[in-house]
Structure 1
Amino acid sequence: MSLLFVLLFTVLMSCTVWGETAFRQLRINEDSPRPLDVALWYPTLERGAPQTIGDNIVFRGTQALREAKPAPGDHPLLLISHGYGGNWRNLNWLAQQMALQGYIVAAVDHPGTTTRNQHPQDAQQLWLRPQDLQHVLDKVIGNPELAGQVDRQRIAATGHSLGGWTVLELAGARFDAQRFMTDCQQHAQLSGCKLTATLGIDQPLAARKLAEDARDPRIKAVVSLDLGLARGFRPESLHQIMVPVLIMAAQADSDALPARLESGYLVEYIPAERQRYRRVAGATHFSFMQMCKPGAVALIEQETPGDGVVCEDGGTLSRSAIHQHLFAEISQFLNQALAYQPPRAGNPLASSR
C-alpha cells in the first residue's frame, strides 16, 4: 500500500465521520406529576431524506433525520433550557449546528413556563426547572440507544432568558427570594420583577426551595444567553462557581432586560478567570430565538398584539448573521471548556446533496 493511498484514505475518513443530524422526541417521567417533553438532536452515520423539524407558519424549522441510529463513540452533551413562555424549538438552530459538531443536544419543555403549559401551579415551582434538566441528563446518559453514548466528562448546559437563570443554578448559583424582591423595589421595570407572583417567588415554600443548592457536578460548562432574574443570585454563590461560564447579552437591550443589570450582574460577581462576557452586536433579547418567516410579524400581531417583537432584531444585521456569530462564539467556548476537538468542520456529506 503506497504512502499516498494511506494519506488519501486518512483524509477521507477524517472528513466523513458522519454526515447528518438525527432527531427524536420523547416524553419522560410520564407517571410523575411533572412529565417532560424532550427533543434530542444527535449525530448519525445514516443517510436519507431529512425532514423539517419544528416548523410552523411563523418560525422556521431545521433539517434532520427522524429516529436514525446514533453514531458510535462517546459524544459531548449539551442541555438546553428555554425562556419563559418558550419551548424546545427556540434554540433549534443552535441544536442542529452543535449536533453537526458531534454533540448530543437535549432540550426540554419546562412545565408551567412553556408555550403549551402555563398552568399556575406548575409555573410557581420555579425550583424544579434545574431538576427538569437533571432528569433529562439522567435519561440520556442511561439510554444511549436514544441519542448515543455520552462522554460524562464533557457535559454542558445553555439557556436563554429564564433558561439562562436555570443553567446558572446548575453551575452553583443560589437564589435568594427576599434579596430579589427587595431589589425589585428599586428596579420594578425589570421583566423578572413583573413575574414575581407568576413564578411563585413571593411564596414561603418557593423561597425555601429556591435557596437550596441545585449545583450538578456533572455540568462542566455553562452558557447564559441574555438571562433574567440574575439579581436574585447571592453574590457569594456566583463567586464560588467553579466551571467556565460564557455570558452573552443583547447589544440592543431594553429597559425590561438591560444587560447592565442582568448579565452585567453575573460579570460583577463571577471570578474573571472563570467567565467570558460578550455583548452580541445587533441582537435584541429575541434574536437568540429561531428564525422568523416572512410575514411572521403580521401573523403574530393578529393573534397576540404586541408579541410581534419576537421577530425584531437591532441594527443592520439579520437574525441569520447574528446566529452565525453566536454559534461561532458558543461552539468555540464549549469546545475549549470541554477540551473537545470536533472530528470535522461543517457537514461535507450534506453539501453534496
Structure 2
Amino acid sequence: MLKRFAVLLTGLLFCSHIFAAVGFRQLTLNGSGSRSIEVAVWYPTQQTDVGESIGENAAFEGSTVLRNAAPVPGAHPLLLLSHGHGGSWRNLAWLAEEMVSQGYIVAAPNHPGTTSQNADPKQARQLWLRPDDLKLAMRELIVDPAIAGEVDSTRIAAAGHSLGGWTVMELAGAKFDARKFNVDCAKHVGLSSCRVAAKLGINSDASRAPLAADRSEKRIRAVILLDSGLARGFTRESLAKIALPVLILAAGDDSPELPAELESGYLVSTLPPRWVTFARIDGATHFSFMQLCKPQGEKLIEESAPGEGVVCQDGGTFSRKELHRRLAVNISGFLNAALHFQPQPGEKPLAPFRSGEETRG
C-alpha cells in the first residue's frame, strides 16, 4: 500500500497550492493534574492585514503570521507536532507554515519538563504524558472551531522530531518497554538517548507501568518521524501491529551519538513493510529538522552554551532552507496521499522532492 504513497509523493504535489496567509494563535490548556500546556496553532486565513514576527531571537530566524486572524471556512485536516527534548513549538514552525499553505490546521504544544520553556525535573520524568499533550490539543481544536477553523476529524496526523518521534509513535500504538531500553543502553552507553534516560525517568521502577501503557489514539491516521529517538525501547510485538501509514525521515549526516541505524533503522526493520515509507535525507544532520539559524546564530549559542552551537550545523552542500523545502515536499506529499486530501485551488505548487530519497514498502 505504501508503494502507492511513495509514487504519489511527486504527482500530488503538482496539484498542491498555497493559501494567502498564515493565521496564528497561542493557547494555554489544563492537562493532567497541574500540568499547564502552552500550544501554538497555525491555520489558513484569507485576511491580508499587516503580520507580526514570531519565534525570532538573536540566534534563530522567525516568521510572519497574522495573530488571531479569522480562519477560512470549511473543514481542514489537522497535523499535530511534537518537539524534541529541550525544544519548543518554534523548532517545527517552518513545517507548520508549509502545511498551512496546503490547507492544514497545525498545533504544537510545549511539553512540560522537556521544553526550553519548562525544564522542571519532576515533569520531565513523566514522559508518558507527552502523547496526552497532543491529544489534549487535538480535542480542543475539534470542539472549538473558533480557534483555527473546523477540523476534519477523519484527517488527523502527527509528526515529531527526535523525542517527538517517540511521542507520535505512542499515538500510533507503539508500546515502550523501559527494561528493554535500559538493557539496550547498557550496550550503547555513549548514545545521547541513553544519556537522558535518567532525566526522563526511564530507569525508574515507578515509570515502567505508565510507560508501558497504551497511549494510542484511533483518530490519528498517519504519523511522521523526523530523526526519531528512543525507538529501541518500543516492543517488536506492538510495532508489528501498527496499521497506519508511517513516514520515517532520517538524517543522512548522522553522528555516533545519534545513529540513524539504531533509531530509525530499528523502526524500518520492525514495522510492517506495507505501511512504511523511509528516506535518509542527504545533507541533513539531526538538527537540520529545526528552525533556521541566523548567520551569527552558531557563534552566539556557543558563547552562551559551549558545545550547543551544533544545533546550527548542517551537512553536505544544501542550506537548511533548501533542506526544509525538500522535507516539506516529501512530508506534504505523504500526508496528502495518506489522508486522501486534495488541497484547494491557490497560487503556487511546490517543486518535487528528489535528492536522497529512498523508500521501503
How far 1:190 moved relative to its partner? Answer: 1.4
For residues 181-235 of structure 1, give each alpha carbon's deviation from its aligned partner in whole angstroms, at most 9, with x where no partner exists. Answer: 0011111121111111100011122110010011100000000000110000001
Are 2:182 and 2:203, in contact at CA under 8 Å, matched by a contact in 1?
A: yes
- Counterpart in 1 of 2:354? none
Given that residues 18 and 102 in structure 2 are in contact (C-alpha distance below 8 angstroms), is that contact kept between their aligned partners in structure 1?
no
Question: RMSD value over aligned CA atoms?
Answer: 1.6
Instruction: Mark the CA change 1:339 to 1:83 in structure 2 (over 3 Å): closer, same or farther.
Output: same
Classify the secondary structure of the residue corresponding to 1:127. helix
- Give me the whole-angstrom Cα distance separating, in 2, the residues matched to 1:34 and 1:100: 32
- For 2:5, the equivalent position in structure 1 comes to none
8 Å contact kept, 2:31–2:136: no
> How far apart are 1:51 and its partner, in Å?
1.4
Does 2:335 match 1:334? yes
Tell me which residue corresponds to 2:296. Answer: 295
TM-score, normalising length: structure 1 = 0.92
**Whole-angstrom distance in 2 between the partners of 1:30 and 1:188:** 34
After TM superposition, the structure 1 = structure 2 runs for residues 99-118 of structure 1, keeping only pairs within 5 Å, are 99-118=100-119
Residue of structure 2 equivalent to 1:226: 227
1:157 aligns to 2:164 (yes or no):
no
Give CA deviations for 1:146-191 in whole Å, capped at 9, x if unaligned.
Answer: 0000000000000000000000000000000000000111111211
> 1:332–1:154: structure 2 CA closer, same or farther, 3 Å change rule?
same
Higher relative contact order (CA 8 A, sep 6+): 2
Higher gyration radius (CA): 1
- SS of aligned partner of 1:227: coil
Instruction: State the 1:62 CA deviation.
Output: 1.4
Q: In structure 2, what is the Cα distance between the partners aligned to 1:30 and 1:159?
A: 20
Deviates more, 1:100-109 or 1:186-195: 186-195
Partner of 1:209 in structure 2? 210
Distance of 1:17 and 1:275 partners within structure 2? 28
Q: Which runs of 5+ in 2 are unaligned?
A: 1-14, 350-361
User: Superposition pairs for residues 221-260 of structure 1, below 5 Å?
Assistant: 221-260=222-261
What is the distance in 1 between the residues matched to 2:97 and 2:345?
15
C-alpha displacement of 1:18: 4.5
Shift of residue 345, structure 1, vs aligned partner:
5.3
In structure 2, the partner of 1:25 is 26
Deviations 1:22-78 (A, max 9, x none): 001111117941000000000012111121121111111112111001110000000
- TM-score between both structures, scaled by the size of structure 2: 0.90
Establish whether residue 169 from structure 1 lines up as the match of residue 186 from structure 2.
no
Maintained 8 Å contact 2:156/2:222 = yes
Question: In the alignment, residue 25 of structure 1 is paired with which amino acid?
Answer: Q
Partner of 2:192, secondary structure, is: coil
- Report deviation, 1:344: 3.1
* Aligned twin of 1:138: 139
State the AA in 2 paired with 1:45.
Q
Q: 1:30 to 1:265 in 2, by over 3 A?
A: closer
User: How many angstroms does 1:17 deviate by?
Assistant: 8.8
Q: Retained in 1: the 8 A contact 2:53–2:63?
A: yes
| Superposition misfits of 4+ residues, deviation over 2 angstroms | 14-18, 344-348
**Residue of structure 2 in register with 1:123 after alignment:** 124
Structure 2 partner of 1:319: 320
Give SS of 1:246's match. Answer: strand
Q: Where does structure 1 lack aligned partners over 5 or more consecutive residues?
A: 1-13, 349-353
**How many residues are treated as equivalent by the alignment?**
335
1:80 and 1:106 in contact (8 A); partners too: yes
